[in-house]
Amino acid sequence: MELSRLGSKVVELFSDGITYTVAMAKLGLASAAMLALSEAVRGAYNYVEDCAQSVDRLADTASTLWVEGAVVSAHRDAAVMMRGVLADAESLADEAEAMAADFQHAKQGHEADYGPVAELMAGKPTDRTYYSNR
């Protein structure tokens, strides 16, 4: 085999190893990021639900104190509006969680398909003296 072809093959294998490692890292990071997004959305969901309950309690208290009906109604409308976004937030959290699982499955599939080859190439001894003696 010609030296230039051998060198090209070595660079190609090295590049493939880096590409595999980078792909595995990116898929893992994408999965973790989507899980973090899902948790953040669920945290916001809980916060908004707590706010809606608090506004309902304020409306109840205002109602017992004979506060003007329009004020009580405005509080109740605000609580209803808060709860209206909760279904969208839950849907977003579920979608982000599903995407995290998809990224994880892609990573596992890639590892199953290419992992043994990457391990074999990583464990293959290289004779660096061959290149320094030329």
Q: What is the pTM of this model?
A: 0.63
The stretch 34-60 carries a mean pLDDT of 92
Cβ atoms within 10 A of the Cβ of 44, count?
15
Q: Is the pLDDT of residue 52 over 70?
A: yes
C-alpha–C-alpha distance, residues 6 and 92, integer Å: 51
- DSSP letters for 72-84: HHHHHHHHHHHHH
Q: Predicted confidence band at 36 (pLDDT cuts at 50, 70, 90)? A: very high
Q: Is the pLDDT of residue 128 over 70?
A: no
Which is higher by pLDDT, 49 or 1? 49
Q: Is the pLDDT of residue 100 over 70?
A: yes
